[in-house]
Amino acid sequence: MKRYIILAATACLAITASCSKFLEEDMRSSFTPETIYASTLGFEVGSAGLYSIARSEYNTWGEEGAFIHNGACPYEALQVGTDLCDAKPGGDGSLIPFAQLTLNSQTQFVKTYWQWAYNLIGSANELLIYAAKNTNWDKPSDKAVFTAEARFFRAYAYRYLIYLYGDVPWVETIQNPFVLSFTRTPRSEVLGHIIDDFKYASENLPENPDGVKDGKLTRWAAYHYLSEMYLLQKDYQKAHDAAQAVIDSKMFELTTAHYGVNKKGTIAGDPYSDMFLENNQNRSAGNKEAVWVMQFQYEYQKAGGGTPSDDWTRRAWNPMYFNINGFTLSDEYGGRGLAQIIPMKWWMGTNGTNATGDNGNGIFDAGDMRNSEYNIKRTWLYNNEAEKSLYGKQCNITDATWSQGTLFPAITKFFYGKKDNLSMTGGYKDRMRIRLPETYFLLAEACLGLNDAQGAADAVNVVRRRAKVPNVDAVNMDLDFLLDERIRELCGEEVRRFTLIRTGKLIERVKKYNAAQKDIIKEQFLLWPIPQTIIDANRDVEFPQNPGY
């Protein structure tokens, strides 16, 4: 909640570090919000800072550009502790509290997500204050567009806060001097403000995604999140209409053919796997399915192109196959993963390996494109030529290799490797933050809320037809089928915890599918605790903790 200097301006200050003290002080006095936010160019700098903070959720280890750091990728804490994946035994300690439900008010990511969200909110509020004052715009529409971006990101941050903490302070201005008497605004009230912000963004952000730079927001991303927030509010008709607006815009379509870097089909794969090839995420590459793409790279090993830890997701989901005799690091096998989170067998299946409890293809129908070898790597061949007796033979996935993270069916959408740097940490691919299938799933969720099972089935079947699997009928179309379908299509892309919280299914499905938590999950864990540092700092007014912590 404190005041933050815009990131780009801070970078400019760093350039002057080698100059004289006099010059450095002069430069520092020049870069203030008043001087930055004095033209359209200044607001472009501020806007870039908002995008940077938003994508830093996927950073780790404190390298350049990383805001959330010194542990696993924070996003992983929103995947473990659900029906989707486990944390590796003896793995990254920052994930264990969420996998074993031992989190408390001092747990790392409990604090970090709060700080990250209010950092983004404070920066958005600062831009909003100066946008209201500024009169020097290049175009008459600039004020509304930058205001819409700031309100989008403020809503985006508060979306995390109400899912994770419940009642949180609603702040819409810069607190100066610093306030020590914040109170917790009721979650329902904050949700109303979030909806207002997303509504403004849906009315004032650019309409045509072909008319903006890659990664820049359009109104359709706001409509998508507006639908989700209406679902959280249980206003199913408005949620339906907002999702339908994205679909009816005709601006987006499901990928059904090779395109971009694989336009000629020379890379083995299918239309689904094509979307996750490097440089195939953006609209400029021909991707018409992505509604919003976070920009993580421009070019590998180019100045300004990001850092190896900008997106840690590959290391989260990929097995440590290279620790098995007969394997060596390979870009074709996704590079150097850490298996920090491991998919559960109930949905992944084991596809005929000798693992105990084999259930074939899990929740995937035969022939499901999303379960092809291009999208889930189930067959692992020894690749170390020095081990001649093993080379080229198949290595079986076993209970031991699965549970310890050395070998399991791996989701290839997170593969990332470079032959000249096989031990690199993260990845440089841009991240599709919203894809059209998720909008269809929001529409289906709204239809179920309206008791329209046929409408829900129709929405889901649009996605299933692309996957080459049979339609689901209205009789079998329920919330659990929808939640399974979200895994099939969006595993690792959606924030699984948020989906289960919103649908009221977290406890039920954890009890059913999560062996580590089925006997300990309870209502308390629907929310995280308030960070102790926040309670302690709010000295002038009592700041109550969430129940059970």
What token pair was written down for 19?
């100059």
Out of 66-70, 97-101, 106-110, pick the least confident: 66-70
Return the structure tokens found at 428. 């440089």
Residue 307 confidence (pLDDT): 59
The C-alpha angle with vertex 254 and arms to 418 and 240, in degrees rounded to 5, equals 125
Q: Model confidence over 474-516: pLDDT tens digits?
A: 999 999 999 999 999 999 999 999 999 999 999 999 999 999 9
- Mean residue pLDDT of the chain comes to 89
Residue 19 has pLDDT above 90, yes or no: no
Query: How far apart (Å, rounded) are the C-alpha atoms in residues 315 and 312?
Result: 6
Above 70 in pLDDT, residue 549? yes
Please check whether residue 17 is in contact with residue 24, taking contact to mean a CB–CB distance below 8 angstroms. Answer: yes
Pair 428, 306: CB distance under 8 Å: yes
Single out the residue of 321, 401, 306, 362 nearest to residue 485, CA to CA. 362
Per-residue confidence at 424, pLDDT binned at 50, 70, 90? confident
Alpha-carbon 19 to chain mean position: 40
Q: Where are the domains of the chain?
A: 7-205+531-537, 313-426
Determine what percent of the chain is predicted with pLDDT higher than 70. Answer: 88
Res 265: pLDDT: 95
Q: How many CB atoms lie within 10 A of CB 456?
A: 27
pLDDT at 140: 95
pLDDT at residue 386 is higher than 60: yes
In angstroms, the CA 20 to CA 455 distance is 67
Across 67-85, average pLDDT: 86
In this predicted structure, what is the pLDDT of residue 309? Answer: 60
- Please enumerate in sequence order all residues whose Cβ is within 8 A of that of 132, keeping only pairs 6 or more positions apart, or say none: 147
| pLDDT value of position 61 | 55
449 vs 35, more confident: 449
C-alpha count within 13 angstroms, C-beta hemisphere, residue 443: 24
List of residues 6+ apart from 299 with CB closer than 8 A: 305
Domain 7-205+531-537 part of CATH 1.50.10.10: no
pLDDT tens per residue, range 185-221: 999 999 999 999 999 999 999 999 999 999 999 999 9
Say how far apart CA 243 and CA 230 lie, in whole Å: 10
Contacts of 43 (CB under 8 A, 6+ apart): 37, 127, 130, 131, 134, 142, 146
What is the pLDDT at residue 28? Answer: 46
pLDDT at 13: 25
Q: What is the 3-state secondary structure (H, E, C) of 227-273?
A: HHHHHHHCCHHHHHHHHHHHHHCCCCCCCCCCCHHHCCCCCCCCHHH
Select from 411, 396, 399 the least CA-distant residue to 315.
411
For residue 203, what are the CA distances in angstroms to 45, 153, 163, 318?
Answer: 23, 15, 25, 40
Confidence label for 72 from pLDDT (cuts 50, 70 and 90):
confident
Token pair for 300: 């590998």
Q: Is the pLDDT of residue 69 over 70?
A: no
User: Residue 154 and residue 197: Cα distance in Å, rounded?
Assistant: 8
**At 360, is the pLDDT very low, low, confident or very high (cuts 50, 70, 90)?**
confident
Q: What pLDDT is recorded for position 286? A: 98
Rounded to an integer, what distance in angstroms lies between the CA atom of residue 549 and that of residue 530? 9
Concatenate the DSSP letters of all residues of 338-398 into one string.
Answer: --SEEE-HHHH--TT-S-TT--TTTTPPTT-GGGSTTTEE--EE---TT-TTTTTSEEPP-
Res. 29: pLDDT tops 80: no
Return the C-alpha torsion angle 359, 268, 414, 212, nearest 10: -130
Does pLDDT of 84 surpass 50? Answer: yes
Q: Which residue has the tokens 């909008």?
A: 439
Provide the pLDDT for residue 327. 97
Mean pLDDT of 149-170: 98
| Per-residue pLDDT tens over the stretch 257-309 | 999 999 999 999 999 999 999 999 999 999 999 999 999 865 555 554 555 56
The identity of residue 103, as a single letter, is L
Q: Between vectors from CA 92 to CA 499 and to CA 497, what angle results, nearest 5°?
A: 5
**Which helix (H) or strand (E) segment is 294 a member of?**
strand 290-294
pLDDT of residue 33: 87
Q: How far is CA 156 from CA 118, 206, 303, 401, in A?
A: 11, 18, 29, 38
* Secondary-structure breakdown of the chain: helix, strand, coil percentages, each rounded to the nearest 5: 45, 5, 50
Q: What is the pLDDT of residues 308-323, one digit of tens each?
A: 566 778 788 999 999 9
CA dihedral angle for residue 523, residue 525, residue 526, residue 531, rounded to 10 degrees = 130
HSE on the CB side for 365, CA within 13 Å?
A: 15
Average pLDDT over residues 81-92: 92
Of 3-7, 164-168, 500-504, minimum mean pLDDT range: 3-7
pLDDT value at residue 5: 32
